[in-house]
Structure formats: C-alpha cells, structure tokens
Amino acid sequence: MNSEKLSGIWQNKRITLKIQRIMKTYFKYEGIIKSKEAAEAIAAPSGLGPFCGFGSATINGNKLVVSPQGVSGSKFANVIKDRITARYMSKDSEDGELPDINFGCISRDGYIFISDEQTLTIENIQGTQGSTDEVLLFAVHTTISEPVDNPVDFVAYWNESSESFYELYKKSLDIYYPISEENRNPNVLNNDIYSDYSMTLSNLLEMVETACPYYSNNKYSVVLIGIYGKGTDAMTKRNENFAIVPYQGKFQEIPYTTATHSMMKESITKVEKMNTGFPVEDENGNLLNIKQYIDGQLEALRKEFSDSLNTASLPIGSIILWETDVIPEGWVEYTKASGRIVIGYQAGGIQIGDEMMLQNIGDFYTPTKGNFVIKLKGDDLPRHRHALGVSKGKQDDANKWENVRPQSFFNRETGLNGDFGRGTPTKGIQDGAIVVSWNLIGESFLQETSVDTLTIEKLPPTITLRYIQKIS
C-alpha cells in the first residue's frame, strides 16, 4: 500500500475522531450512541420534561408505581395515549427493545430517557408527607464525562405542604370550580384563561417549590415529570385519582384540533344568528342589548293589550280578572274582592248561622273565628249523654238472673238501678241504662278530662288574581 493511500486513511481516521470529539459522545447505552448535542437539538424546540407516558400513578404505602397511560375517564387520557402511539418505532431485533416507547423525557441537562417498560416503579418516596396524599416525581441526571452507562434516573417526594394540587387540577378542567352550575355567572372577559397566571407552568413550579424542599434546592438540575394523588370533588363529593403531567413544559395541554374548531364555529354561529339585528336603538337613540330589547317588546305588548281594553266595548263598572301588577289606564283594582272568594248573587241573601248575609250586590262577609281555619272543640257541640240500655240476664238454665246484658235503649228495663250482678262495666245503672260519656269525647262519668281540638281548613285550592274595574 503506497504512502498516498495510507495518508488518506489516516486523514479519514482523524476526521472521524474529530467528529466524535465535536459530538461529545458521553456514553454508549443499549447499543445506541447518545449525544448531548443531539438531545439539546431535540429539547430546544420541544421543551424539557416528559414528552410521552407518565400519565398516571398509584401510591402503595411508600412506593410509587407509574403507568404510561392517563387516568381512566380523564379528558387527557386520549391525548396521552396518542403521544405514546405516535412514538411506535421500528427496532432491530438485536437491540432487544420493543417498538413501543411507553415513557419518554428529557432531563434538565439535555439527556433523553426512553423506556418500553409497562410501569416505572420508585421504591422509596422521600421527604415527609404533608396533609395530602400527593407525590411529586422528578427526573435526575448527573453528567459524567467518561463513556459509561449513565441513564436518567427518577426520584419521588411527598407533597410536604398543606396546599393541595388537586384544586389546581380541577380548575384546569373547569375554571369556575368549585362554584355549582346554578350559582355561576360566566364572564369570558374576566375569566380569560390566557390571562390567568394560575394556569401556567410558572405558577405550577412555584407551587412545587413550596411543596418540596428538594426541588427548591435542586430546580436547576432536576426537572418535574408529574404530580400524582387523589382528592374529593367539592361538587359531586366523589373521590378520584388525578395526575398533572407538564408535557414539554406546558401545563395541562389539550390540542386545539380541527374537530374542536368546527364545533366552536357551529356554537358561535348560533349565537351570532340569535344576535342578528343587534344592537338596536330605542326612541332616544340609546343602544339596547338583547335583554333590554325583549323587555321593551314585552312592555309594548302590555301597552297594546291595555289599549285594546280601553277601546273594547266594556261599560264603566265592568270587572275582570287581571294577572299582572301593571293595571291598564282607565282601570283600578277592585279592592273589595282582595282576599275573598267571589260568589254569584242570590236574591234575599244567604243565611250564615242565624243571620241573613250578602243580601246586596257588593256585600262581603269576613269570618270572625279565625281567617282560614275552623276549630271545633267539645264545648262547640250541644252537651248530651250517650247511654247503653240493659236488661236482666240469665246464664244457661239458671232460675235466678246473676248479671245484666246489653239491650236496645228503648227496650231496656227501666226498673234496674244501682249495682247489679258481677259483670256490670260501670257498677252503676240508671233507669236500665249504662252511662257512656259526655259528647263522645272520652269524658269519665265521675271526672272531666282535657279535650282535643279538631282543625278544619276552610280555604279550597286557590289561585290569586287581581279583580280590576273599569272607571273611565
């Protein structure tokens, strides 16, 4: 081999070494050369932190088990699943890797972590648990200059503060949480999400600093991967798991898709159609909103009906029923009918008790014993006794009577008086009768007892309307 060829080979070797030196290959892992510059090239446009997986987790004692998929039923579940599906890569069989990339993140110093494992387990959650059952997961990587295996690692810490991330998670789904739907007053100007600092990654990381001293002391060397826990919905009272995973430096992102855009267009179009013709000016040139316009139209209808009453061929003194508070011009309320039931006139009047009442048109009657109930007491009834007639009784074929037996009051033996026989209930018979009670209200024959009051409603099913009378 001549010197010219040797010189060319050596030159190529030097070029290769130079390229490797420029690329700064720090370690070889799983048969793939990893480059910090390559990782930085990816991280710069996409952002540090998780880019797929890490969607949910369970806390078992002091152990955190992370799943790539999202919380079942969550609005983010499909987005997280799509992130995993989009990273289905072909691999050589000799690599020993599955084509799925279930977990993927970029560490603070620009190194990529990918894994096809079904779960990621952190055996020991560190720190002191606060008032909530919430755990924060971080990616940790320390750069080593030697070409050795040096993958990204993960650590988990308890939320040590009294502030829960659950309410922030709920507000990311519903900005009005926890106000119940019937008490909400939507205002898109005052509730512009893009102006709400609480819905930013910056606010989330400030909360993480307060909740975790480890992150506060290492925020320039570790990156937040996810926050996991559970909470109770203030409106539904249901207990649920939650996860906040800031993919590539964005807080709780759901992509704005063409389908979403079409739905929003349809809703806005309907609102625009409803507002067609607005704003409208009143007779003074003032702009009216839709409520003012509707109120004006209703008032115009009332006035039109009022005018029609005035022009109707009803004689002065006519009385009609009226439902609204606004009485038309030329009419007044017929106050005699207020709170009273109107009945048809009967010549000569109507007898109430011992008196003849309502003898003239326009007469009215007001009960004197209470307004809308009648109370009946024992004293309201005529005082009288009830008695049971008796006669002499014989038992089987005995020649002499030994007791009394019930008999009709008219067929009683009036000669029986005093105590007779062994079975007389009251031990007292007067003129062939046993005295039972006064007025059937349970009074004893020998002493008085208290009486209950019977209350009777005298107001039938009713609707209140105004009677109005035409006066001009």
Predicted pLDDT of residue 453 = 60
Between CA 99 and CA 108 the distance in angstroms is 26
pLDDT of residue 197: 87
Interatomic CA distance for residues 378 and 396, integer angstroms: 43
pLDDT of residue 424: 45
Residue 101 has a pLDDT of 84
Identity at 186, one-letter amino acid code? P
Contacts for 316 with CB less than 8 Å, ≥ 6 apart? 470, 471, 472
Instruction: State the residue for tokens 């799983």.
Output: 30
Tell me how far apart the alpha carbons of residues 438 and 377 are, in angstroms, rounded to a whole number.
Answer: 13
What is the rounded CA–CA span in Å between residue 142 and residue 138? 13
- d(CA 280, CA 290) in angstroms, rounded, equals 8
Cα 2 from chain centroid? 87
Amino acid letter for position 355: E
C-alpha span between 90 and 98 (Å, rounded): 8
Burial (Cβ within 10 Å: 0-12, 13-18, ≥19) of residue 13: exposed
Q: What is the CA radius of gyration of the chain?
A: 47
Distance, in Å, from the CA atom of 72 to the CA atom of 188, rounded to the nearest integer, reads 30
Longest dimension (CA), the chain: 164
Q: Which residue ranges in the chain fall short of pLDDT 70?
A: 1-45, 91-98, 145-149, 274-279, 309-312, 353, 367-387, 394-402, 419-428, 435-459
pLDDT computed for residue 161 by the predictor: 92
Please name the amino acid found at residue 242.
F
Amino acid at 316: I
| Predicted local confidence at residue 231, as pLDDT | 92
pLDDT for 470: 87
Rounded CA-CA distance 182/143 in Å is 55
Looking at residue 136, its pLDDT comes to: 96
How far separated are the first and last CA of the chain, in Å rounded? 130
The pLDDT value recorded for residue 349 is 81
**404 and 433 in contact (C-beta within 8 Å)?**
no
pLDDT of residue 272: 75
pLDDT value at residue 86:
86
Residue 154: its pLDDT value, please?
Answer: 95
Look up residue 377 and give its two tokens.
């007491």
E strand or H helix at 392, and its extent? strand 385-393
3-class SS of residue 467? strand
Taking alpha carbons only, the member of 224, 227, 229 closest to residue 241 is: 229
Which pLDDT does position 94 carry in this prediction? 60
Burial level of 466, CB count in 10 A (0-12/13-18/19+)?
A: middle
CA distance 161 to 227: 14
Beta bridge partners of 465: none
Specify the pLDDT at position 379.
Answer: 61
* pLDDT at position 31: 46
Which stretches of 286-338 are assigned E, i.e. beta strand? 287-288, 319-322, 331-333
- The strand pair at 222-232 and 239-244 is best described as antiparallel
pLDDT at position 118, please?
A: 92
